[in-house]
Structure 1
Amino acid sequence: MNHRTAEPGSATEVVYAGSVFGAPCWVSLTGRDLEATQEFYGAVLGWRWRRASLGDRFRIALADAVPVAGVAAVATTWQIAVAWTPYFAVPDADEAAARAQARGGTVAVGPLRLPPGRGALLADRAGATFGIWEGELVGGWQAWQQAAPTFITLHTRDAIDAAIFYGETLDWASDRPGSCEVEYEGDEVVLRRQGRVVARLESGAVESAPDPSVRPHWQVHFRVADVAGCARAAEKLGGSVLAEDEREAVLCDPDGAQFTVNARRED
């Protein structure tokens, strides 16, 4: 059973990864100081928090009462980088991880049981880190997309090569009903689900660059009402502004995790 609904679009909707396979379904932050992280993102993005079932080092961020992101103070314990990471929905985490490895990717963590599902942390063959998720989606999917709202961009060496890797790993552009659609626009690849853009893959990153922000990586974007206000709040709470204009700001939290805020478009 892939999809059970209490009320369409509501916070009580229960959606399983198999029903939105291949699409981004969650974002998580691995950090060091949980209290400081909650204070920072609460001020910058207006999030509230609740405890996660995984233990005291984990929190769930809420926007308008909808779960939108996870935070784990495990960077030091797990010896992994402080960073924002997108997760993609898969019907079978073991199969997806095996596909990634067979295509030159690596598995850093998992797949592990992380109630209410199973997840793994991987890297593609250019070195960009991403996650996969099997099981119940914490924020639903439609509700998560509307409440976060998030967008992700892969900065990589070769967007076409990356699209082939992710397509074969996550079943993009397959014959399966509900598959994500892939469009090639020059050096950029656009990923859509049911006509909605959910990710972009862009060429130009350099694998050997000394600056981590120039190496292949997934960048998580959050749409906000006030870009400048978010930037000023980030600076006040010990973060930094790496780039800023009227429509977008690239920010860094006090732990060094980079993310982008974009001006919310009025529908």
Structure 2
Amino acid sequence: MPRVTGHEAGAPCWLDLASPDPEASKRFYRELFGWSSYTMALDAFGDYEIFTLGGTQGPRVAGLSALADGAQPPSWTVYFRVDDVDDTARAARAAGGRELFAPMAGLGIGRAAMYADLEGADFALWQPTELAGMEIVREPGAMCWVELASRDIEGARRFYGEVFGWRPVEHRIYRAAPYTAWEVGGRPVGGMVFMDEHWPPHWGAHWIPYFWVEDCDATAWKATDLGARMAIPPTDIRPGRFATILDPTGARLAMITLAPDLRG
């Protein structure tokens, strides 16, 4: 499996799982995706778990940390690569975003910041120095897509266009609802789905990672055997067959078996 050595500005570059029970999360994802992990010490920030694929020496796929406090919900956070955290942070604030934590250094591996968009969906910025991010993407067991679920499509298009310079391209892939693909330099970096009446009314806007699996049905039902809850059962859409689950701690994620013409 070829290793990714860098990510273009505006593209997803890292995933971080905040869990109330890191040990349980490690067991779940090791069983579900075959991940391994090792611990990285981050100075004053404590230990940070790095998930890898194909053994502990394999490529990095994501990170794991304990919840910052009891008010933080279990969740996957998507990090987007930026050239200058401070410049992008100013753009996020100017566009109406809420600062969750200000740009900070001191990790020894890069600079980060976190914001919530106009609907409250959180996302993070990453300016790498040593840790470029995920070392494998679009391979079985790794992230292959990130997606924003939103009830304000036009507001989200304006916000992320101002923050990252993304260009929205509309598609129809599921039911009759519009689907937006975000592009940078003509290349897709993520998507956005409209939260219509079929979505649970108590679900707020959110970003969610998609992981490529060889058999969506088998992996989704295996997840439930391991303690996950099914949010959207295996369903056919234009890009392939996907499902959405809540892991045993309540963090949302999706999995997809890509259509043959989208692989490679």
Same fold, TM-score > 0.5, yes or no: yes
Equivalent in 173, 183, 193 of residue 169 of structure 2: 183
* Partner residue, 2:40: 52
* 1:167 CA displacement: 1.5
Whether contact under 8 Å (1:67, 1:139) holds in the other structure is: no
* 1:203 CA displacement: 2.5
* Partner residue, 1:5: none
* Partner residue, 2:175: none
- Once the two structures are superposed, the pairs formed by residues 114-263 of structure 1 within 5 Å of their partners are 114-136=107-129, 138=131, 143-147=135-139, 148-173=142-167, 182-185=168-171, 187-193=178-184, 195-204=186-195, 211-212=202-203, 215-245=204-234, 247-263=241-257
Q: CA RMSD in A?
A: 2.5
* 1:200 CA displacement: 0.8
Rate the CA distance shift 1:129–1:72 in 2: closer, same or farther, 3 A. Answer: same
* Partner residue, 1:102: 94
Whether contact under 8 Å (1:31, 1:72) holds in the other structure is: yes
- The 1-side partners of 2:194 and 2:156 are apart by 9
Which residue identity lines up with residue 88 of structure 2 in the other structure?
A: A
Equivalent in 15, 26, 35 of residue 38 of structure 1: 26
* 1:233 CA displacement: 2.6
SS in 1 for 2:136: helix
> Unaligned regions of 5+ residues in structure 1, if any?
1-8, 174-181
Runs ≥4 residues deviating over 6 A: none
Rate the CA distance shift 1:43–1:140 in 2: closer, same or farther, 3 A. Answer: same
Deviations 1:131-157 (Å, cap 9, x if unpaired)? 11112473556x432442331111112
Rate the CA distance shift 1:32–1:95 in 2: closer, same or farther, 3 A. Answer: same
Number of residues of Structure 1 aligned to a counterpart in Structure 2:
240
SS in 2 for 1:198: strand
SS in 2 for 1:256: coil
Q: Which moved more, 1:120-129 or 1:131-140?
A: 131-140
- The 2-side partners of 1:83 and 1:124 are apart by 16
SS in 2 for 1:199: strand
* Partner residue, 1:24: 12
Equivalent in 64, 84, 91 of residue 83 of structure 2: 91
Identity %: 30
Whether contact under 8 Å (2:229, 2:247) holds in the other structure is: yes
- The 1-side partners of 2:61 and 2:14 are apart by 7
Whether contact under 8 Å (1:231, 1:249) holds in the other structure is: yes
Q: With the length of structure 1 as denominator, give the TM-score of the two structures.
A: 0.80
Rate the CA distance shift 1:98–1:193 in 2: closer, same or farther, 3 A. Answer: closer
* Partner residue, 1:62: 52
Whether contact under 8 Å (2:19, 2:75) holds in the other structure is: yes
Deviations 1:197-216 (Å, cap 9, x if unpaired)? 3311223369xx7522xx21
- Larger strand proportion, structure 1 or 2? 2
SS in 1 for 2:23: helix
- The 2-side partners of 1:53 and 1:264 are apart by 36
> Unaligned regions of 5+ residues in structure 2, if any?
173-177, 236-240
